[in-house]
């Protein structure tokens, strides 16, 4: 299927494994060049190289921690340096915690707010201007079904993902005039490495193996 995306540039956070990498491969199959962002340098570079070789596109891996302004700034700079901007932004980076509301310290709430919400805010501020110059673009936020139906063991994840949904709606109203579409998807449980790790931890907490 030709979706008319050949030659576009997509930025995907959390792009070295799991959902992010699957999305990257789907876009690469349509001829989209990629900037994959993740914390682990070796992993993201390897994923970018393999995707480029497999699909014949250009793919760049950027190691950055988006739970802070410096990580977002580094990613934005890399996008401008490598491609002069982008047409697509997919905010996929995220993780969960099994701490309850009573257990989790302020620092944990702040860390997840930075990663799930502020990373999306910072990347929008930095990358939307490129999309405007290109005549439009697409921003997609990978939130979670937890944004509307909370999981009992991940309250911080629930709250910050719900905030991401509202940010997405707010941003959409602001940039639609610039021909930039903003959407959110709220997937349910998907068998990724993070989910396997969470399932094992929950099982261990209940005395199983």
- Annotated catalytic residues are 157
Q: In 10 A of CB 26, how many CB atoms?
A: 12
Whether the CB-CB separation of 171 and 116 falls below 8 Å is answered with: no
- For the chain, how are helix, strand and coil distributed in percent, rounded to 5? 50, 15, 35
- Cα dihedral 163, 165, 166, 168, rounded to 10, equals 120
Integer Cα distance of 56 and 44 in angstroms: 17
DSSP 62-76: EE---SSHHHHHHHH
Structure-block tokens of residue 209: 């193996």
- Could you tell me where the beta strands, DSSP code E, fall in 48-185? 59-63, 88-91, 137-142, 180-185
Helix 155-175 vs helix 106-113: crossing angle, to nearest 10: 30
Integer Cα distance of 12 and 14 in angstroms: 6
Write down the number of H helices and E strands in the chain.
7, 6
């Amino acid at each position: 299927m030709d979706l008319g995306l050949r030659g576009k540039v997509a930025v995907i956070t959390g792009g070295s494994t799991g959902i992010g990498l699957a999305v990257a491969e789907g876009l690469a199959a349509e001829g989209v060049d990629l900037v994959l962002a993740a914390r682990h340098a070796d992993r993201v570079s390897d994923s970018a190289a393999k995707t480029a070789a497999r699909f014949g596109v250009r793919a760049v891996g950027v190691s950055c921690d988006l739970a802070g302004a410096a990580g977002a700034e580094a990613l934005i700079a890399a996008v401008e340096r490598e491609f002069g901007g982008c047409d697509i932004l997919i905010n996929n980076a995220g993780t969960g915690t099994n701490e309850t509301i009573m257990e989790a310290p302020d620092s944990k709430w702040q860390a997840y707010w930075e990663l799930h919400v502020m990373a999306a805010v910072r990347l929008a501020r930095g990358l939307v201007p490129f999309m405007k110059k290109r005549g439009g673009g697409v921003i997609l936020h990978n939130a979670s079904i937890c944004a509307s139906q909370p999981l009992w063991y991940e309250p911080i994840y629930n709250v910050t993902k719900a905030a991401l949904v509202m940010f997405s709606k707010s941003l959409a109203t602001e940039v639609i005039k610039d021909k930039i579409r903003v959407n959110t998807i709220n997937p349910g449980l998907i068998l990724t490495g993070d989910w396997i790790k969470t399932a094992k931890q929950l099982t261990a907490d209940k005395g199983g193996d």
